[in-house]
Structure formats: C-alpha cells, structure tokens
C-alpha cells in the first residue's frame, strides 16, 4: 500500500507539471496578444475587440489551470503526508520515502515559483505530523523535509 501512495503522489505531481506547462504557454500567448495590440498601428475596432476578447479568454483559462494545478499539488501532498503518517506509525528505521516525495514537491514549487493555495486538510495534516515528529526520536529526514515544506508554504 505504501508504494501505491508513492505512485499516486508522483502521478499527481506529474499532472500538476502538465498544468504548469499549459499555464506558461497561455501566459506566453497573452504576451503575444499584448505585443500585437501595441505594435499594430492600423488597428481597427474589431481587431482591438478581438485582442481584448482573446486576452480575457486566456486569463480565464489560466485561472482554471492554476486551480487544477493547485488541486493536483494538494493531492500529491496529501498522499505524501499519509505515507509519512504510516512511516511514523510503523517506526521503520529505513530511509523515508515520504521525505523524498515532500522534497520533490517542494522543489517543484520552488523551481516553478508557485505560490500554492494550500487546502485546509493539508495544513492540518502538516501541523499534526509536525507535532508528532517533534515528540519522536529519529525520522530526521522526514522532520527536516516537513519543516522545510511547512516554511515554504508559510504554514504557522
């Protein structure tokens, strides 16, 4: 079951990456529309209207894609945190796969410069796990990664 959580989290992060690429593409298209609007000297009303319509459409698509991306990231986090809970419960002395997942998610957020809207269940699970880890000995890599992601997501 734990390897299933690893796969689920990885798949969700992969879907978030797809959404992020689509966001970047749409943002580029907006820049092209802006350039087109700025440098066309013989712009008639219909061209201006079309450019504004296209820009609004792209902005709506970006908003939807950001929402989809955030859902995938929150789901990836939830799977990683569930795995962390299981690792903590099992008291395994092996390396933490949850800490690797959390590190991957954190790196993705940092590289893509994403300001994530963190869901309440994810915030609560992070806080709960952080409290449990502070009282336990061991699990150093998991403690470190959980603290890092907590700071990056600005969770109190």
Q: pLDDT, tens digit, for every residue of 83-103?
A: 999 988 887 656 789 999 999
Residue entry with tokens 């929150």: 74
User: What's the token pair of residue 145?
Assistant: 């990664």
User: What's the token pair of residue 85?
Assistant: 């809970």
pTM of the model: 0.89
For residue 113, give the 3-state DSSP assignment: coil
- 22-76 pLDDT per residue, tens: 999 999 999 999 888 777 666 677 777 888 899 999 999 999 999 999 999 999 9
Residue entry with tokens 């066309």: 40
CB 147 within 8 A of CB 130: yes
Residue 143 is part of which domain span? 2-152
Q: How many domains does the chain have?
A: 1
pLDDT at 43: 64
Alpha-helix runs per DSSP H in 40-139:
45-90, 97-111, 120-135
CA 135 to chain centre: 28
């Amino acid at each position: 079951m734990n390897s299933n959580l690893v796969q689920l989290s990885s798949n969700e992060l992969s879907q978030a990456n797809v959404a992020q690429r689509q966001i970047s593409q749409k943002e580029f298209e907006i820049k092209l529309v802006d350039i087109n609007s700025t440098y066309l000297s013989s712009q008639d009303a219909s061209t201006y209207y079309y450019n504004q319509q296209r820009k609004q459409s792209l902005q709506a698509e970006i908003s939807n894609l950001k929402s989809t991306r955030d859902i995938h990231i929150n789901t990836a986090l939830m799977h990683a945190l569930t795995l962390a809970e299981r690792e903590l419960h099992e008291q395994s002395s092996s390396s933490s796969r949850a800490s690797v997942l959390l590190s991957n998610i954190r790196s993705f957020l940092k590289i893509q410069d994403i300001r994530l809207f963190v869901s309440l269940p994810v915030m609560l699970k992070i806080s709960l796990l952080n409290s449990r880890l502070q009282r336990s000995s061991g699990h150093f890599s998991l403690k470190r990664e959980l603290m890092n992601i907590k700071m990056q997501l600005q969770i109190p």
